């Protein structure tokens, strides 16, 4: 092949390669645009679908995608939602225990998206807890234990909380006082009593969770209960109960005559 023939062949190859590259890039662009939710049929987009058929008829991934709002260049919000749920074995109870840091382990989920999801999960917990508190007046352990179970059920570690009550045994305030490790947490009586005085509380219900599921109080639980109870007496504040909750049920110090 002469010199001119080789040049023509090289030019032809170059043109063919450029055409293929351009077509390939065009195809990739089209595919990416097709994957974007805004280019989906209207009845398949999560927000439009919710408006048309209602939230109850949608999948968990579709509902989560609405909270995520936007995906990435390569993946839609639904794709991200499906990956997040798969990490929790598609179990919402397990997913609800995810921390902001856990949620952010999914590429495409930053602090803003993780915070929105956490806020939605907390609203769900509060709504469920309110349903179990059938009366604002506390009449016994059973009337408040389920409420506390829901409030603390998604913590993977021990937390110590207090219900602050007024003279009519109505809840004035609920607050988590301290968080600990898997096997225990420490609550400072001074912090609890300071908060009780700020809330004008006349009685308290102590509470903490046992992530292990074991409801038996430890010696440390008993000693802490006694310590807080005796300190509260100096301020004419009564400790009515200390309730331990887990997924298995609850243990009431008052019901067991341990307070």
pLDDT attached to residue 27? 44
Structure tokens given for 12: 């032809």
Question: pLDDT (tens digit, 9 = 90+) per residue, 60-76?
Answer: 999 999 999 989 988 99
- The chain-wide mean pLDDT, for the chain, equals 83
CA atoms lying within 13 Å on the CB side of residue 142: 0
- Rounded mean pLDDT of 212-216? 88
Domain spans of the chain, in order of start:
38-128, 133-252
Can you give the pLDDT at residue 143? Answer: 77
Length of the chain: 259
State pTM to two decimals: 0.66
Predicted local confidence at residue 31, as pLDDT: 45
Spatial neighbors of 102 by CB under 8 A, at least 6 apart, are none
**Which of 88-92, 93-97, 194-198, 247-251: highest mean pLDDT?**
194-198
CA distance 159 to 161: 6
Whether the per-residue pLDDT at 11 is higher than 60: the answer is no
Q: Is the pLDDT of residue 227 over 80?
A: yes
Sign of CA dihedral 30, 31, 32, 34: positive
Give residue-wise pLDDT tens across range 44-60.
688 888 888 899 889 99
Say how far apart CA 145 and CA 75 lie, in whole Å: 43
Convert the pLDDT of each residue in 163-211 to its tens digit. Answer: 999 999 888 999 999 987 655 567 899 999 999 999 999 999 999 999 8
Mind listing the pLDDT tens digit for each residue in 99-117? 999 999 999 999 999 999 9
Q: Report the C-alpha gap between 157 and 99 in whole angstroms.
A: 12
Q: What is the pLDDT of residue 151?
A: 87
> What sign has the CA pseudo-torsion 99, 218, 252, 224?
negative
How is domain 133-252 classified at the architecture level of CATH?
Answer: 3-Layer(aba) Sandwich (3.40)
> Which pLDDT value is given to residue 112?
95
- Contact between 174 and 211 (Cβ < 8 Å): no
């Amino acid at each position: 092949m002469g010199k001119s023939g080789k040049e023509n062949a090289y030019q032809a190859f170059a043109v063919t390669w450029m055409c293929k590259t351009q077509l390939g890039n065009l195809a990739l662009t089209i595919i990416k645009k097709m994957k974007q939710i805004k280019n989906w049929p209207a009845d398949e987009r999560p927000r439009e679908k919710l408006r048309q058929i209602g939230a109850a008829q949608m999948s968990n991934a579709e509902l989560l995608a609405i909270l995520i709002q936007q995906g990435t260049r390569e993946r839609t919000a639904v794709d991200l939602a499906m990956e997040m749920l798969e990490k929790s074995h598609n179990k919402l109870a397990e997913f609800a225990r995810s921390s902001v840091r856990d949620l952010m382990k999914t590429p495409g989920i930053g602090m803003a998206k993780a915070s929105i999801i956490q806020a939605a999960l907390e609203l769900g917990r509060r709504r469920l807890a309110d349903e179990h508190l059938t009366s604002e007046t506390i009449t016994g352990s059973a009337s408040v234990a389920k409420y506390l179970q829901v409030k603390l059920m998604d913590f993977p570690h021990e937390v110590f909380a207090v219900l602050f009550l007024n003279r009519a045994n109505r809840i004035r305030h609920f607050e988590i006082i301290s968080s600990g490790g898997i096997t225990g947490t420490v609550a400072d009586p001074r912090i609890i009593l300071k908060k009780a005085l700020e809330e004008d509380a006349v009685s308290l219900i102590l509470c903490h969770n046992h992530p292990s599921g074991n409801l038996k109080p430890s010696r440390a639980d008993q000693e802490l209960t006694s310590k807080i109870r005796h300190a509260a007496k100096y301020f004419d504040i009564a400790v009515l109960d200390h309730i331990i909750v887990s997924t298995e049920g609850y243990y009431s110090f008052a019901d067991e005559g341990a307070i």
